[in-house]
Structure 1
Amino acid sequence: MNFNISLEDLFKLPNWIIYIICASSGSLLFLSDEILQKIYLFNIREEYGYILGLIFIVSLISGVGLILKYFYKKMKLIYNIYYKDKHTILDLSTYEKAILFMMYTSENYTLKLRLGDGAVVRLKDENIITVIYGYYLTDALEMDRLLVPHVLQSWVIKLINSNSKVLINLEESYFEKEATIHNIIEG
């Protein structure tokens, strides 16, 4: 038998195939002689034991690496949601927090905001709000007065729903800037 298995090809396999290779090569290596003789695989282990051992070690290491990578991504996501994103919202100006509170209290988390306002641009850059439009034909001079619908991102809604401190902070900012915030919406 001639094996032409490249290590690079092994890492390109889907995760479930790597786990199956690890389990099958491990079972061929570690099952007792009696069981392997009953299923006629004892000779394969004796002939190709070294190759099976290498396959087992490589697939085990890559399988453990894939599992660790999965948990790292999950932990990073949890860190971003509960720590980093919360502080991003808390670090906004009171004017930007007031805009967020108005969007949060609207029926479908949507609000028409001025396209040329600096606070709106920063909220879009921070990926906190998103524009809901295709293209608008306007003059370049009317760009600052153009009201365009924006929607609050789903991760922000989840963060506000799960953390009452953020909601209280946004509400305080809204009542502090209530007069100014209506200018941006009503024009």
Structure 2
Amino acid sequence: MNFNVNFADIIKAPLKIFICLFIATGIVLFLPDNLATKMYMVDFRNKYGFVISLVFICSFTISVVGGISAFWSKNKEKRITKKALKNAKENLKKLDDYKAAIVYELYKEDNHTSELPLNDGAVRWLEQLFIIGKATNNYPVWDLTNPVFPYMLQPWVVSELDNNEGLRNKLKIANEKVTLEYSSRSRY
């Protein structure tokens, strides 16, 4: 039997395998002698103790580093989202008239959801600021030159507008202004 063992493949194994190796080798190494005798592992432990210890130390190290890395990555995403939401409230107050009109139009809807142009820069901007989000992942598009997609107002924006009448009025005025500009352009 010929085994081709590649060190890079071993390192790339899932973290669960290293944790299992760490636990299994730890049990073999630290099992009390009276239990090891009952399990007929004393001779095995004495004969291969060095290799078992190496596997134990390596799997422990890889498990700890992998666990810290996974924890750090998960918390990094949470920190980025938390920071973005913190800044999003300020960004909501600083929207230009066109973006404010989009937000107000969504706010006026019963379910705060409406179809918006997918390739509109303002829509993409509002999505990046966590003010709006896609309501679904899949949606049929009929017009490929101007695709539309259902977007919804984020719940924190709805509650912010419900509680802040000044901001709501500011968005309403911006919406009326944009609607007036659009209607005056379409007459010509």
Q: TM-score, normalised by structure 2?
A: 0.68
Give how far 1:55 is off: 0.8
Q: Identify the residue that residue 53 of structure 2 maps to in structure 1.
A: 53
Give how far 1:81 is off: 2.3
Give how far 1:109 is off: 3.5
SS in 2 for 1:151: strand
Q: Which has the higher contact order (CA 8 A, sep 6+)?
A: 1
Taking the aligned partners of 2:147 and 2:3, their CA distance within structure 1 comes to 66
Question: Is structure 2 residue 176 aligned with structure 1 residue 179?
Answer: yes
Taking structure 1 as reference, are residues 137 and 99 closer, same or farther at Cα in structure 2, changes over 3 Å only? closer
Q: Identify the residue that residue 9 of structure 1 maps to in structure 2.
A: 9
Runs of 5+ consecutive residues of structure 2 not aligned to the other structure? none
**RMSD between superposed Cα atoms in Å:** 3.9
Taking the aligned partners of 1:184 and 1:148, their CA distance within structure 2 comes to 22
SS in 2 for 1:177: helix
- Cα-to-partner distance string for 1:19-60 (whole Å, 9 max, x where unaligned): 111100011111222211110111111111111111111111
Question: What amino acid does structure 2 have at the position aligned with 1:34?
Answer: N
Taking structure 1 as reference, are residues 61 and 82 closer, same or farther at Cα in structure 2, changes over 3 Å only? same
Taking the aligned partners of 1:116 and 1:28, their CA distance within structure 2 comes to 60
Taking structure 1 as reference, are residues 116 and 25 closer, same or farther at Cα in structure 2, changes over 3 Å only? closer
Counting matched residue pairs gives 175
Question: Is structure 2 residue 125 aligned with structure 1 residue 122?
Answer: yes
SS in 1 for 2:43: helix
- Cα-to-partner distance string for 1:160-183 (whole Å, 9 max, x where unaligned): 46x748974863541341313446
Question: Is structure 2 residue 31 aligned with structure 1 residue 31?
Answer: yes
Taking the aligned partners of 2:181 and 2:89, their CA distance within structure 1 comes to 20
Contact 1:90 1:166 in 2 (8 A): no
